[in-house]
A and B are shown apart, each in its own frame.
Chain A
Amino acid sequence: MSPTRMQLLRLKKRLAMAERGHKLLKDKRDELMKRFLDLIKKEQALRGRVEAGLGRALPAFLQARAAMSGEALEEAFMAPKVSCGVDVSTTTIMNVRVPEFTWRGEKASDIYPYGFHGTSASLDDAVAGLAELLPMMAELAEVEKSIELLADEIEKTRRRVNALEYVLIPNLRSTARYITMKLDEMERGNLTRLMKVKDIVRAKQA
């Protein structure tokens, strides 16, 4: 890069821009981080509840299965009465698109897809327990997904912040310093030359 005033000006402009970008990205990173931590806390709480709930419901199913014949069980589950699912929309957290699930299952009291004849009572418990858990599981899935997507964005932002902070900005600074020094040096060289010329002219006049 040629050490000219023009270049110096250009560099200073770039430096100002980089610093502004750095500040903005840092703010973005901090805010992302805050959201991320909130989500993590939520995830941990939900995860605990879901795992505890499944820890009760799943063995209950096993028990029921042990108490019933395979065909009876097959038959009992043949036609699920409740359809469960979610509406999916997307929201954005700091420009990251994350899914948002809205639970859409009937909260019917009659969730059992079978008659009570010929099925064991533990099956009822298991089905009821699982039905209670499903909305929570949907929420947990949404939260974990959001965490995953946010994590990617945080990583990217962090990289950019670091690149600006430790590479681009120092580079620009040192180049600017180099040019300033070079210009000063030229200035001094010019001055000495002028003085010298003046001396010579004066010597000739005398």
Chain B
Amino acid sequence: MPMYRFAAVGEEETVFGFRALGVDVFIVGREDDAASVLQEARKGGYAGIFVTEQVAKAVPDVIEGFGGAPLPAVLIIPGVGGSLGLASQRMKKIVEKAVGADILFQERG
């Protein structure tokens, strides 16, 4: 069975550390590049792509586009500045779509 690797996409100061652990790092210099860098990472055949919140925020539609296929799995990670709660927002949206109502995240607003 082939081993699938992971990639990290984001600003340099957040993702550079992943390189030490054998995660492929794609650096997004400017927000405008986010979409193209993400697409490039997608072509790499990774099991999962860690995307920082800043990048995810810039190109939410690209992230959505990853939804249908089984791979890669996209994981939104908080940047150096701490979590913006983007990942739970995304989950909340998914739950709302599935259930038709917000049943889980009320307490978090």
Contact = CB atoms under 8 A, between A and B. Distances in A.
Contact of A85 (B5, B50, B68, B77): B5
A148 interface: yes
Contacts of B87: 47, 51, 144
Given A97-B70, A131-B21, A144-B73, A87 B3 contact: yes
Most chain-B Cβ atoms within 10 A of its Cβ — which of A36, A111, A144? A144
A148 B20 CA distance: 30
DSSP majority for the B interface? mixed
Nearest to B5: A85
Interface residues of A, number: 61
B102 to A, nearest CB: 12
Contacts of A57: 17
Interface string B1-41: 10111100000011011111111000000000000000000
Contacts of B91: 40, 43, 47, 144, 147
A44 B87 CA distance: 10
A122 to B, nearest CB: 11
29 contacts: A47-B88, A47-B91, A55-B78, A58-B14, A61-B17, A80-B20, A80-B21, A80-B22, A82-B22, A84-B5, A86-B3, A86-B48, A99-B70, A111-B21, A113-B20, A127-B21, A131-B21, A137-B48, A138-B6, A138-B48, A141-B48, A144-B74, A145-B73, A147-B94, A148-B67, A149-B70, A150-B98, A152-B68, A158-B100
Contacts of B59: none
B82 interface: yes
Contacts of A144: 73-75, 87, 91
DSSP majority for the A interface? helix
B62 interface: no
A33 interface: yes
Interface in B51-109: 67-68, 70-71, 73-75, 77-80, 82-83, 87-88, 91, 94-95, 97-100, 104
Contacts of B100: 158
